[in-house]
Amino acid sequence: MSGTLVSTALQENLTTCNTTRGNHYDRCSYKRQKTTLHQRHKYRLVDEEKNSHRQTAVAFPNISTSSQQLVVSKPLTAQTSSCQRTFAYGLYRQTHLLNNRFNPQNHHRQIKSQHFLLILSPIIVIGLLINPSCFVLPTAEGTPLDDMYRKWTHEDDHTLHAATPEDFNKESILTSGAFDIEIFVSNLTLEIKVDGKRVLYKHNQTVRSLPNAFRPTHRGVGMVVLHPTTGQVLLTGHYETNQPMAYRPFLETLNNLQAGRILVLAAPGDWRTYMNEASVEFLSEYLGGWLVNEGCIGEMWAGVGMIDGPLWAETLTTIANFKRPSRSSPLYMAVTVPKSLEKNRCEWYSDPKHEHRARFCETYEGYRDFCSCNVVHTVSPANAPPLEMREQIPIVIATARHQFKVLRQIQQLWTQAGGGNTSILISVDGLQKEAREFTKIMGLQAVFHLNPAALGTLARISQHIKFSIFQAFKLNPEANKIIVLEDDIVIAPDFISYFHQTAPLLDADKTIFCINAYNYNSFLPTAIDTSRLYREEVFPAYGWMITRELSQELLVEWPSMAEFADWDWYMRARMQKGRVIVTPEVPRTYHNGNGGFHVSGWEQSAYFDRRALNADPEAKVNISYLTKDAYELFLENELRNATVLEIKEHPCDKEYIPKEKVGSFVVYVYGEHEKDDSYAYFTLATCLNGYEKGRMEHHHYMFTLGYYGNSLYIIACPGSYYCRVKEEDYGRLVYNPSHADFMRSMNYKQKYVKHMTHISVTYRVNTTNFFDEVTLQNYVNLETSFMVSEVGEDGKMLM
């Protein structure tokens, strides 16, 4: 079936499958019956057209000429009155008895039934006398062919049927207009047009992720959401689901779409590779489609439907047999979708105080709860508990995309202590009308960046962070500090409190560069104590606080648009100048990006998904030991009283540190500087379930971890200032593993890393079974998991 176009017509024709040949055909039959997207729509418009000759709109069942069979042409409609339903049921019961052949075994039962009818008949007559309206004859509109006139024509003659009110409703839909939707998908191109206008286009796009590495960005799923009445584009999105974890924001967006919207999806052939079974089932049930669950690698897919409504069309191009790098022929689909009648969708739309919100909900998508018709959700700073503050510390949220992620952050900020008294600035990259309307509704201040850097580049992001810092201080002239956030961050319930508790450190110690809310080395069991903070050389990342004085210095030295550099790496390498960053053992933020520019789905799967997030809204931190001199005294006391561990056996084979809080421990590992070729840190950190690629997060080349509540200090020798090992003791105390030891630890990692990358690949294969081919069951499925690591066999980072 190379290049075969399989559409919903196949699904309509193959309404049933042979269920007598085992589970294989049962599965086929089950998939044909899946219509969850249409649960609120009993008949599709196309079905009503096709089946209109079978629907007689009668209130009574037809009487079959067969003595064994009773044919009911259409069930009673919801418009039938209660008395009509009672009378119809009596006639149905009587007809059923008359048409049954005599059976001696059932004769006694039939006599009882007839006695019951004799008793019921007077009740029906009395009911008609009491309520004469029940005896109203059908009007000409929708008059059925009753028994009296049935003999005038053949039973299957439908030329004499009159129109019903349902036909008028259908006619009004057909005359209200329609949208022409065109979809083109190939291995290199993804294009969606509405009424001839291109609304989404991706063609052979790549971005430079590293100085010598590129990755495609045109692969994945394209999405367009349209207003069902006006055809206005409410949302466009592209999700790079050809990499791990990127399907999650795709499904999250689907979950947040409002009912009644027109949904257009298009995808090339590798978009489902990293989706787990649960997500595929969700998507299949959400769409009510069949083909979305039957596509194989290399095959193109597209679908058009209505949220909580009909699936208008679904298309899949197939290949006969998959052989790398095989791809199916391109897919082109044209669909005409009728417009919905214009109406006031929610009751609260007519409330003048919600006028702007109603207009916003009819213009943009992705805000299902915020735009719910059932209840108007209140998002207000008045919901936040009080917090004692010594100063005002504004928060600036840098964003460049749709505002539903920002809405989530606002909800988190306005439900935690201090949220009601904290100034929030939304810094938008570009002239985004959605952000302008959203911030008006929320009563927030917003600035819009005329960013000169090219879209999709490191320079674009870097320049926008610089703009956000500048505008936050400019618009808050009384503030001495600000907190910088990005829109893909989930916030802990003590986020604001954490920064106000640590703010005095920036005033007391100029050797502190900024305060972080994030800790890269925060995997369980290395993130336990919510009160513990470290001084480290690391990046400002995922929620950080900086002073006005330092920002003046940084903005002058900020990387230019011509420099290929992440702003956070550049800041650490060029601007920190020996100053440290205070980081929490347990993070106050969680990175929720998936398949973005800075963080790929691979890295999200391997590292970011494993990191902790504080859940205690009343957590307190200890800052008494964090100024420079106090920290050195604290470390001197810690190291003096710590237990020094000698690594004689492989650290993955022996537990050197107890899994309950005992005290402090020191391990010496070989290392000359941060970028040397030593395997020691990677091997040890991997066996301890730590951040094996994280040699950039240290204090004078000493790594501090909270291991099950204990303090573990990993000191590099001879590179660290804190190395106190004598030369004659190096062989005994300094752990210096071989390459084989390093590889052994990497294999061991697969045993405890829970978030392994899942792959599910279906390959199309040749078959001699025609039924398997037409039902798209001619495939084999390969499911596996593997560990993602950014450290190569040479001990160096791959990314």
Give 32's contacts (C-beta < 8 A, 6+ positions apart): 11, 14, 15, 16, 17, 290
Phi then psi dihedrals of residue 53, to 5 deg? -70, -15
Q: Which of 311-325, 532-546, 588-602, 774-788 has the lowest mean pLDDT?
A: 588-602
Q: Is the dihedral of CA 631, 636, 642, 646 positive or negative?
A: positive
DSSP structure class, residue 384: S
Pairing of strands 533-536, 580-584: antiparallel
The tokens describing 762, both together, are: 């279906």
Is residue 668 scored above 50 in pLDDT?
Answer: yes
Q: Which residue has the higher pLDDT, 81 or 763?
A: 763
| Average pLDDT of span 252-276 | 90
- pLDDT band at 531, cuts 50/70/90? very high
Whole-number Å distance between alpha carbons of 616 and 408: 19
Phi then psi dihedrals of residue 441, to 5 deg? -65, -40
DSSP structure class, residue 219: -
- pLDDT band at 750, cuts 50/70/90? low
Whole-number Å distance between alpha carbons of 289 and 786: 30
Q: Which of 109-118, 328-337, 563-572 has the lowest mean pLDDT?
A: 109-118
CA 664 to mean position of chain CA atoms: 41
Quick check: 682 and 512 in contact, CB under 8 A? no
Phi then psi dihedrals of residue 306, to 5 deg? -115, 135
580-592 pLDDT per residue, tens = 999 999 999 998 8
pLDDT at 101: 37
Extract the runs of DSSP E, i.e. beta strands, from 149-275.
178-185, 189-194, 197-203, 206-210, 213-216, 221-226, 233-239, 262-267
384-423 pLDDT per residue, tens = 999 999 999 999 999 998 899 999 999 999 999 999 999 9
Q: What is the largest CA-CA distance in the chain?
A: 115
pLDDT at 240: 86
Alpha helices by DSSP H, listed for 525-606, are 548-556, 567-570, 601-606
Quick check: 441 and 533 in contact, CB under 8 A? no
- pLDDT band at 169, cuts 50/70/90? low
Q: Tokens 């290949």 correspond to what residue?
A: 319
Question: Residue 729: what residue type?
Answer: D
Phi then psi dihedrals of residue 333, to 5 deg? -135, 135
Whole-number Å distance between alpha carbons of 293 and 327: 18
Helix axes 277-287, 247-255, angle to 10 degrees: 30
pLDDT at 158: 62
Quick check: 218 and 203 in contact, CB under 8 A? yes
**Mean pLDDT computed over every residue of the chain:** 78
Is residue 376 scored above 50 in pLDDT?
Answer: yes
Which residue, 741, 606, 705, 717, is CA-closest to 669? 717
pLDDT at 463: 94
pLDDT at 747: 80
Whole-number Å distance between alpha carbons of 626 and 639: 16
Question: Residue 128: what residue type?
Answer: L
pLDDT at 115: 46
pLDDT at 325: 60
Helix and strand element counts for the chain (H, E): 22, 29
Is residue 359 scored above 50 in pLDDT?
Answer: yes
201-235 pLDDT per residue, tens = 998 877 665 555 666 777 889 999 999 999 999 99
DSSP structure class, residue 2: T
Per-residue b or e along 416-453, where b marks 16 or more CB atoms closer than 10 Å to that residue's CB: bbbbbebbbbbbbbeebebbebbbebbebbbbbbebeb
Distances (CA, A) of 144 to 137, 568, 765: 11, 76, 53
Which residue, 677, 645, 674, 671, is CA-closest to 658? 645
Quick check: 389 and 417 in contact, CB under 8 A? no
53-106 pLDDT per residue, tens = 333 332 323 323 333 332 222 332 333 333 333 333 333 333 333 333 334 444
DSSP structure class, residue 547: E
pLDDT at 684: 92
pLDDT at 62: 31
Q: Which of 489-493, 616-620, 747-751 has the lowest mean pLDDT?
A: 747-751
Whole-number Å distance between alpha carbons of 133 and 123: 16
Is residue 125 scored above 80 in pLDDT?
Answer: no
Whole-number Å distance between alpha carbons of 286 and 284: 5
pLDDT at 64: 31
419-472 pLDDT per residue, tens = 999 999 999 999 999 999 999 999 999 999 999 998 878 889 999 999 999 999
Quick check: 125 and 135 in contact, CB under 8 A? no
DSSP structure class, residue 612: -
Distance spanning both ends of the chain, measured CA to CA: 41
DSSP structure class, residue 375: -
Q: Which residue has the higher pLDDT, 726 or 798?
A: 726
pLDDT at 757: 72
Quick check: 420 and 381 in contact, CB under 8 A? yes
What is the pTM (predicted TM-score) of this model?
A: 0.75
CA angle, 242 as apex, 241 and 247 as ends, to 5°? 20
Is residue 155 scored above 80 in pLDDT?
Answer: no
Question: Residue 467: what residue type?
Answer: F
Distances (CA, A) of 404 to 23, 155, 237, 438, 492: 43, 57, 13, 9, 18
Which residue, 177, 176, 215, 54, is CA-closest to 799? 215
* DSSP structure string for 228-264: TTT--EEEEEEE-TTSTTTHHHHHHHHHTPPTT-EEE
11-68 pLDDT per residue, tens = 333 333 333 333 333 333 333 333 333 333 333 333 434 443 333 332 323 323 333 3
pLDDT at 55: 34
Whole-number Å distance between alpha carbons of 569 and 647: 33
DSSP structure class, residue 738: -
Q: Which of 438-447, 554-563, 590-599 has the lowest mean pLDDT?
A: 590-599
pLDDT at 168: 62
